């Protein structure tokens, strides 16, 4: 039987951040991961020379947790332009962040998508959170749909830009997501410039895993934990096909799809996304902006030419195009038909590389927003993850660090 001070179950972002902090404090900690690699939902595969993240994932360096605990420079970030390309009934319009792209302000105002009443309503909705982010957590939370109605945001800016754009970000096109969560997320888009690491999103968990090992912690892959049981004086962890392990404390940091298999907690409600990856010899547009369909004429909620921003995602001379739908997803003919409309050209020659169906892509963030959940469930048993904080990379990192703090306090006690 193997004995440790702390066992972390799950090598996603929350589990890795938790292990980094524990190992740095001199704790004997080991991470047990059921998969063949670290990362959880942040994984990247190489397919025919292309880098395919498991789902369309972006990293926002403006997240406080990322600034604090991640070496962003080492990730070699490739940043998307801050704006959106909108397919309308009679053409295409581009909207750009006025501070990031000041030269595009006049075309944005002339687009017909930004009226004075809409701009004022958007300011009423987001300005308080831009100035005081904690204001989103005070007062009465409501659905995003109700929040926009309350602010008076009802025109084309909402219907053709914000609703389709946030549908892909929140995995929700009903407007049922927490208004406070949406405000905090949009704040990060306003302040930051999201992008992808040059080597794929997996570069983020890879960096955290290196930090775990450098601090003296261990990571064991292909170790499926099938039981966690508190006992007098410690916690026993049973591993499928292996000897049980014991620890003074165990942190369960698995995803929302698996946490209820190990702990007596309700299964978190989740939202799903389906991502399609296509290879093309020629890009459908010179634009690197994320594209949405303001007409909402098909299943695709966003699409982008990845190689306009990150050429390293494709072999030389080739381009990679991403398209995302909400679950339960769509068929390939439906997706191709919609992409042809959004991009304004035939996509028949695009080669499908892979389709990612991710039913548990994001924990649902229903109002009222709950930004923290209890870290300790039983003596020596703790739980971490973005489903215990907020559904984001920020939430996963903060949860892992917060739980590590609680574990250290328990070990000292």
DSSP state letters, 197-251: ETT-TTHHHHHHHHHHHHTT-EEESS--EEEEEEETTEEEEEETTS--EEEEEEE
pLDDT at 340 over 80: yes
What is the Cα–Cα distance from 19 to 24, expressed in whole angstroms? 8
Could you give the angle at which helices 144-151 and 116-131 cross, rounded to 10 degrees? 120
Q: What is the pTM of this model?
A: 0.95
Q: Residues 121-150: pLDDT tens digits?
A: 999 999 999 988 888 888 899 999 999 999
When pLDDT is cut at 50, 70 and 90, the band that residue 103 belongs to is low
**CB neighbours of residue 270 within 10 Å:** 19
Would the CA dihedral through 257, 355, 320, 159 be positive or negative?
negative
Segment 345-369 mean pLDDT = 97
When pLDDT is cut at 50, 70 and 90, the band that residue 114 belongs to is confident
What is the Cα–Cα distance from 37 to 45, expressed in whole angstroms? 11
In the chain, where are the structural domains located?
A: 2-42+202-269+371-412, 44-80+270-363
* pLDDT of the residue at 413: 83
What is the Cα–Cα distance from 300 to 323, expressed in whole angstroms? 6
407 sits in which H/E element: helix 393-412
Q: Are strands 218-220 and 351-363 parallel, antiparallel or unpaired?
A: unpaired
Percentage of the chain modeled with pLDDT above 70: 97
Segment 185-190 mean pLDDT = 93
3-state secondary structure of 72: coil
Which CATH code for domain 2-42+202-269+371-412?
A: 3.50.50.60
For 44-80+270-363, CATH number out of 3.30.930.10, 3.90.660.20, 3.30.360.10, 3.20.20.70 equals: 3.90.660.20
pLDDT at 82 over 80: yes
In the chain, how many H helices and how many E strands?
Answer: 13, 19
Q: Do residues 197 and 77 make contact, with C-beta atoms less than 8 angstroms apart?
A: yes
Give residue 127's Cα distance to chain centre.
24
pLDDT at 100 over 70: no
pLDDT at 172 over 90: yes
pLDDT at 106 over 70: no
308 sits in which H/E element: helix 306-309
CA angle 144, 276, 269 (to 5 degrees): 40
What is the Cα–Cα distance from 107 to 64, expressed in whole angstroms? 33
Q: Do residues 335 and 254 make contact, with C-beta atoms less than 8 angstroms apart?
A: no
pLDDT at 372 over 80: yes
């Amino acid at each position: 039987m193997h004995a440790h001070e702390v066992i972390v179950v799950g090598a996603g972002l929350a589990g890795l951040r938790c292990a980094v902090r524990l190992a740095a404090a001199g704790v004997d900690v080991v991470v047990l991961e059921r998969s063949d690699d670290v990362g959880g939902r942040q994984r990247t595969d190489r397919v025919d020379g292309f880098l395919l993240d498991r789902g369309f994932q972006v990293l926002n360096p403006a997240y406080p947790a990322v600034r604090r605990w991640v070496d962003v420079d080492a990730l070699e970030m490739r940043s998307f332009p801050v704006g959106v390309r909108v397919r309308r009934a009679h053409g295409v319009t581009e909207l750009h962040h006025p501070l990031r792209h000041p030269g595009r302000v006049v075309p944005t105002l002339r687009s017909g998508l930004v009226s004075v009443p809409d701009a004022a309503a958007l300011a009423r909705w987001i300005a308080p959170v831009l100035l005081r982010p904690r204001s989103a957590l005070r007062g009465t939370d409501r659905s995003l749909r109700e929040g926009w109605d309350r602010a008076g945001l009802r025109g084309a800016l909402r219907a053709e830009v914000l609703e389709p754009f946030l549908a892909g970000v929140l995995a929700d096109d009903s407007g049922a997501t927490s208004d406070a969560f949406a405000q905090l997320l949009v704040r990060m888009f306003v302040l930051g410039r999201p992008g992808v690491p040059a080597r794929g999103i997996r570069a983020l968990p890879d960096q955290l895993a290196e930090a775990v090992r450098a601090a003296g912690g261990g990571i064991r892959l292909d170790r499926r934990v099938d039981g966690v049981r508190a006992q007098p004086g410690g916690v026993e962890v049973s591993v499928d096909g292996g000897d049980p392990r014991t620890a003074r404390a165990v942190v369960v940091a698995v995803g929302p799809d698996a946490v209820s298999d190990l702990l007596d907690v309700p299964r978190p409600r989740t939202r799903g996304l389906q991502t399609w990856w296509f290879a093309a010899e020629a890009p459908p547009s010179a634009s690197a902006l994320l594209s949405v369909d303001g007409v909402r004429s098909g299943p695709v909620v966003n699409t982008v030419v990845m190689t306009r921003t990150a050429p390293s995602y494709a072999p030389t001379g080739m381009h990679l195009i991403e398209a995302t739908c909400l679950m339960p997803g769509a068929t390939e003919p439906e997706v191709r038909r919609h992409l042809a409309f959004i991009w304004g050209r035939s996509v028949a020659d695009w080669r499908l590389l892979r389709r990612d169906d991710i039913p548990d892509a994001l924990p649902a963030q229903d109002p009222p927003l709950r930004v923290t959940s209890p870290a300790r469930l039983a003596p020596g048993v703790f739980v971490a993850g973005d489903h215990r904080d907020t559904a984001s990379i920020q939430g996963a990192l903060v949860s892992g660090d917060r739980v590590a703090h609680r574990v250290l306090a328990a070990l000292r006690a």
